[in-house]
Amino acid sequence: IMTTDTFPKVATRQTQIGGVPVTIVGIAKGSGMIAPDMATMLSFVFTDAAIGQEALQALLSKGVKQTFNAVTVDGDTSTSDTLMLFATGAAAKRGQKPVTKPADPEIARFRSALFDMLRELAQLVAKDGEG
């Protein structure tokens, strides 16, 4: 998904939910017009964890505040920013109990891994930023 980017932006984390291994993979593109609240940036994060939409949205909203929405490179903003988090639920077939609440203590390690990966992706985007 690179356009004017000078290098690919990919990050991966392995963690566990309830003792079951899960993977988080993220990709991003964007190198200009990066200001608070993202801008001209696309990022897609995928996990095989079984986590419901309500919990995913809460995790993503909190994680983005501390990462992508804290980045400023050139002070410009755009309406073309996107960050999506998808959970396939495949880990449920390996025994992971589905999580529906963002405060569920079973996802503490997942939350930490997700936030760490979002931070890495945001830093990679800023590293390639114009301005």
Annotated catalytic residue 77: no
* Phi, psi dihedral angles at 25 (to 5 degrees): -130, 135
C-alpha triplet 72, 2, 115: angle, nearest 5° = 50
**DSSP per position, 57-126:** HHHHHHHHHTTGGG--SSS---S--EEEEEE--GGGGGTPPPB--TT-GGGHHHHHHHHHHHHHHHHHHH
d(CA 50, CA 30): 29
Catalytic residue, candidates 12, 15, 23, 40: 40
Check: CB of residue 74 under 8 Å from CB of residue 130: yes
Which residues belong to the active site? 40
